[in-house]
Amino acid sequence: MGESQVLIIVPDPSSGGLIRRQLKEEGRANTALFDCWEDFTYGPLVPTKTPEKLLRLRHRHWIRLESGVQRPPERPALSWLLDRADRVEIMLGGTGREQLFLLGLSSMLGQPIDRGAGIELFQFPVPTHRHSLGMNVGELSEPPRPLIIDPRLLARLDEHWHSVTSNMPHALVEGMQKDDEPGLPYLKRGFASLLSSFPSSETGLGAAEDSLLRALSKDWIAVARVVGTAMLDALDRHHTVIGDQILFARLFGMADPNLPHPAVELRGDPREPRRREVRITDFGLACLKGQENYVDHNGIDAWVGGVHLSSANGNMWFRDPDGNVVAK
């Protein structure tokens, strides 16, 4: 009888690189690894008949962004790897992005469970919302006790996924109010990351836009520096991890010269977007101070989970100072 095929699934390429190195050092050549290039904190998350259809929808959404989005390398599809695995090990840190990844992944796991493949979840204990799986590198060789993902747990995860993909924000709010999922103490951080993306009722800025504008001044600053500063600000003030590609997209979006009132001004070669320079406009400063509302002046066309925020369609939702999501 041949050696059983183990598949390790991790939520991002950074942690994937660390685990590949560890597997090589341990001589585990028969262990497959899938590291996800997706980021479910941004873009549409809607109910679909198949996971592949959702991924195609999101792919189209990503390639429309003029942000220098990197393409993932060619590699076997997750469905192909799952079909060949005898045992699956999922490893997670404590960020909201990783928790949303788990919920999205759960929608793809029904078939392996039905045919009896063992699926184990290793939820690493983390002290704060900052700690991703990659920050647990010293503990990867001694993982925590796994949680078995059986059909009962999968059904509960699916309920949470329905909250994320609902076209009404109340499901997200209700998800935050539910009791913690046994064995998954950080799951609500995924909901919190999405809720922080709703525009503020006072400024019209979501967490990404707010952190970006706070990283700017009236002087020209390198785009890459602004994005790095905004990532730290989002962690400190909004308690959420926002990826650099999302921040680049949001920054360039606020600088669109076709907007009635751009909050940001860009200069430099458009062919090298990450080497351009940027500064805040007077309108952007007024939004930060709550004197103007970005959405009121520029409208909105964005997704937060399954909610399509669209000023053209009159589907407008804002996050009030108490953290509630209200219609406008």
pLDDT of residue 1: 44
236-276 pLDDT, tens digit each: 999 999 988 899 999 999 999 999 999 999 999 988 888 89
What's the length of the chain?
A: 328
* CA 9 to each of CA 35, 81, 152: distance values in angstroms, whole numbers, following the listed order: 6, 10, 21
Summarize the confidence of residues 280-292 as an average pLDDT: 98
Band of pLDDT at residue 71, cut at 50, 70 and 90:
low
Summarize the confidence of residues 107-111 as an average pLDDT: 69
304-328 pLDDT, tens digit each: 999 999 999 999 999 999 888 999 8
- CA atoms of 300 and 209, how far apart (whole Å): 12
131-168 pLDDT, tens digit each: 888 776 566 667 889 999 888 898 899 899 999 999 99
Res 117 pLDDT > 70? no
Helices 170-177 and 188-195, packing angle to 10 deg: 140
pLDDT of residue 76: 79
17-35 pLDDT, tens digit each: 888 888 888 888 778 999 9
Res 64 pLDDT > 90? no
Band of pLDDT at residue 277, cut at 50, 70 and 90:
very high
Q: What percent of the chain has pLDDT over 90?
A: 52
Res 226 pLDDT > 70? yes
Cα–Cα nearest to 259, from 180, 198, 204, 303: 204
pLDDT of residue 314: 94
Pairing outcome for strands 147-148 and 118-123? antiparallel
Q: Is 313 left (phi over 0), alpha (psi -120 to 50) or beta?
A: alpha
- CA atoms of 231 and 247, how far apart (whole Å): 8
